[in-house]
Amino acid sequence: MAAREAGRKDVPTLVAVSKVQPWERIAPVLAAGQRVFGENRVQEAQARWAGVRDTHPDLELRLIGPLQSNKARAALELFDVIETVDRESLAAALAEAIARGAPRRRFYVQVNTGEEPQKAGVIPADADAFIERLRTHHGLMPEGLMCIPPADEAPGPHFALLAKIAARNGLDRLSMGMSSDFETAVRFGATSVRVGSALFGTR
Ligand SMILES: *Cc1c(COP(=O)(O)O)cnc(C)c1O
């Protein structure tokens, strides 16, 4: 209880972002016991990880990059967690693939906290309605929210905004923080951090 009052819950999950990295850099991290990995492309992740599942059944793969609706089924087949649900057409494609037998997975809604036109994610003003629609119309129960703050802004206010949107929607998981800002993200309540270059070296 004391830890909770101090604002800390569980130790955040480290999502090791292995995109683009050569296998020689990934293998030692896997051997050291890391089991949660993040990838941003379906096909690249398939090529890299499909065979690893046989020897590492406790592997957890997370999709952290934008997902095209026509790859919804492939993504559900491969990833345990899809962190980038951000639009109606994708939600519909995921729900339909599940209805046709694809595995039901864990989901996050990506929020474009900086409202950057080039960035994926639902804008903050639309987040509540989108989450509600996922639950009631698509039968998709997100477990949390994910964001990537603008590169040229202090990340703290973006993390705080994400935490606020999550709280008012009854979500307690926050995927936020990368190599450059994961310590800040943890202070703002991140339950998972996505760290690539700080772990594997520059891409
Ligand atoms: C690449 C990527 C990361 C990891 O970035 P680093 O700065 O290398 O830690 C985290 N999240 C997303 C969504 C990414 O695409």
User: How many whole angstroms from 178 Cα to the centroid of ligand 1?
Assistant: 6
- Taking only the tens of pLDDT, the chain with its 203 residues reads 344 445 555 799 999 999 999 999 999 999 999 999 999 999 999 999 999 999 999 999 999 999 999 999 999 999 999 999 999 999 999 999 999 999 999 999 999 999 999 999 999 999 999 999 999 999 999 999 999 999 999 999 999 999 999 999 999 999 999 999 999 999 999 999 999 999 999 99
Rounded CA gap, 144 and 158, in Å? Answer: 15
Whether the CB of 120 sits within 6 Å of ligand 1: no
User: How much is the pLDDT for 103?
Assistant: 98
Which atom of ligand 1 lies at the shortest distance from residue 200's CA?
8
User: How many whole angstroms from 19 Cα to the centroid of ligand 1?
Assistant: 8
User: How many whole angstroms from 195 Cα to the centroid of ligand 1?
Assistant: 6
Name 79's Cβ contacts closer than 8 Å, sequence gap at least 6: 39, 45, 61, 62, 63, 105
Q: Closest Cα to atom 6, ligand 1: which residue?
A: 196
The model's pLDDT over 65-93, given as tens digits with 9 standing for 90+, comes to 999 999 999 999 999 999 999 999 999 99
The model's pLDDT over 34-46, given as tens digits with 9 standing for 90+, comes to 999 999 999 999 9
